Amino acid sequence: MLSSIEKEYLIGYWKRSRNYSSHVIDAMPNEKGEYKPSSEMMSFREQALHLLAAESWILKGIEQGEWEWNPIFTPENYVDMEAVRDVTRTTFLLHEDHLKRFAGWDKVIQTPFREEPIPCVEAFRMMLEHEAHHRGQMVIYLRMNGVTPPTYYQE
């Protein structure tokens, strides 16, 4: 069973990761949100929306066992970086509230990630890894546009 200290640690880690992602998203100038290094890649704005969509999808899957990919965080719904920044802040607050109330960390669930069931905490860890992957791409996009990425350890 996950102790309250372990749960606090996980949520704290998620919040630090979330804060850094927010700073990375905030760092890209509005006029550069459509930047992508090549045509087959997602733009910076699309990367940010993908982070929100994936996190929402995984948290819903962990809590409700529903794994249908039907994101509302699409480029059509959030047409510029200001809209992305606004929905990022709102969504992160909703997700934080969700995580604080969630009591099923020890549940073992079926996911689309593996054939065998995994603990919810493992799905949560995979979500954090996925975010780090895409955030890393976004940091590179910043640098390719002459923008110095935010410091990782800022609050």
Q: Which residues are annotated as a binding site for a divalent metal cation?
A: 50, 130, 134
**Nearest 5°: CA angle at 140, between 76 and 29?**
55
Is the Cβ–Cβ distance between 56 and 64 less than 8 Å? Answer: no
Is the Cβ–Cβ distance between 145 and 30 less than 8 Å? Answer: no
The secondary element (H helix, E strand) that includes residue 96 is: helix 81-101
Residues tagged in the binding site annotation:
50, 130, 134
Q: Which two tokens stand for residue 21?
A: 């992602």
Rg (CA), the chain: 16
